[in-house]
Amino acid sequence: MTPAGPRELVRPLTSLRFLAALWVLLHHALPRGEAGSFADTLAASGWLGVSLFFVLSGFLLTVRYAPDGAMRGERRRFYLERVARLAPTYALSLLFAAVLFARDVRVEGLSGGRVAAIVASVVSGQQAWRPETSCEWNCPAWSLSVEMWFYLAFPFVIAAVGAWMMRRGRLLRGLALLAGSLAASAIIFPDLERVGGGWPLPVYSLSPLARWPEFLAGIGLAGMIGGWSPRSGTPGLLLLVGGVGWIVATVAGTTAIATTGGHLLPVALPGFVLIISGSWLLRGRAADGLGTAPLVLLGEASYALYLFHAPLHGYLLALTNRLVGRGYDTSWTLFAAYAALAVSLSVAIHRRFELPWHGRLRRRFGLEPRHT
């Protein structure tokens, strides 16, 4: 059997990106059913898909760029690869959402100075640092602002903890970083979630500083299991099923968690860790349906789906209100049409725009071509 390359090894995790993006889409557009129903709580909790992205990001960057505890390649190269991968589609999504942004500016009567501040923060990817700018122009892009800081800091994080984490006893060292990160999220996130507009400090639930535990949890998890290839698929399957069950139970228990004073995100994080662990340990095995070509393609297109689904929702909501007198957020048929259009659009953008521009920028930056 030919050894799998890095891209083949992360195929199941690529598919998870699509499922995370789809969950966020459901959060923004799924017709709500009866209050308290599972469909209603599933949609209401869809913002957790962003947290799965953050844990996945830490894990994937580590297994790809620092599997032995040291960065592979120059720091400059790493940054250029991130820019080539993310910048074109991010810019296109802002252009796509520009009409909606202009409408909001007009309706809300925003001053020129306020508009200039929003444009500067969003174009530069700094909007997540303040509550009043985080959800402007294209709201889901706030998480890209957070990811930019993760990417900027990743080589330095690996330089600080990579060698320590990958020494003999890496399982326990990775576990220590993972457990510490999960505990930190449980301690700090519930209080930061209550912070609103006017908060003077750049630390609240959507800021890069608040989301570090999720990213570090992914790095710790990579330290634990990144080099583990079990002989059978049983451990991975058990972890995957356990993680899915954990998330289902978390979503179903949303009301109970809130009633006891808990917060959904720290409760859900162990489930994400189990799902990522199971998918990684099942890599290359037929038992892992996440590695199928259609799901991997959707996973590759998930970046576009995540950035374009919200403005597309805005445009179609305005259109259906004008044509039929109600939004598709009250119709399952109209929602299904929107979801299919959003997924199709994301695949088209990925193939026709994202990949070509990725290749152009890689050549411009002197990087070797990306093999697909």
Alpha-carbon gap, residue 55 to 224, rounded angstroms: 14
pLDDT of residue 34: 62
Alpha-carbon gap, residue 332 to 340, rounded angstroms: 12
> First-to-last CA distance in the chain?
20
Alpha-carbon gap, residue 270 to 275, rounded angstroms: 9
Number of neighbouring beta carbons within 10 Å of residue 262: 15
pLDDT digits (tens, 9 = 90+) for 121-169: 999 999 999 888 999 999 999 999 999 999 999 999 999 998 899 887 7
Tokens 């162990």 locate to 270
- pLDDT tens by residue, the chain, 372 residues: 333 445 556 788 888 999 999 999 999 988 866 666 777 888 889 999 999 999 999 999 999 999 998 999 899 999 999 999 999 999 999 999 999 999 999 999 989 999 999 999 999 999 999 888 999 999 999 999 999 999 999 999 999 998 899 887 788 999 999 999 999 999 988 888 776 556 666 778 888 989 999 999 999 999 999 888 888 888 989 999 999 999 999 998 988 888 887 889 999 999 999 999 999 998 876 545 677 889 899 999 999 999 999 999 999 988 887 877 666 666 788 889 999 999 999 999 999 999 999 999 999 999 876 654
pLDDT of residue 131: 86
Contact 122, 311 (CB under 8 A): no
Cα 243 → chain centroid:
17
pLDDT of residue 42: 84
Single-letter code of the amino acid located at 171: L
Tokens coding 55: 């844990």
Long-range contacts of 364-372 (CB under 8 A, 24+ apart): 365/80, 365/83, 365/84, 367/77, 367/80, 367/81, 367/84, 371/7, 372/7
pLDDT of residue 54: 97
Locate the domains of the chain by residue range: 6-364
Alpha-carbon gap, residue 82 to 249, rounded angstroms: 35
Single-letter code of the amino acid located at 103: R
pLDDT of residue 33: 64
Tokens 């999720």 locate to 214
| b/e per residue 141-171 (b: at least 16 CB within 10 A) | bbbbbbbbbbbeebbebbeebbeebbeeebe
pLDDT of residue 58: 96
pLDDT of residue 287: 46
Dihedral sign (CA 277, 280, 281, 287): positive
Contacts of 104 (CB under 8 A, 6+ apart): 110, 136
CA dihedral 162, 163, 168, 169 (to 10 degrees): -30
Alpha-carbon gap, residue 325 to 259, rounded angstroms: 38
Three-state SS sequence of 258-281? HHCCCCHHHHHHHHHHHHHHHHHH
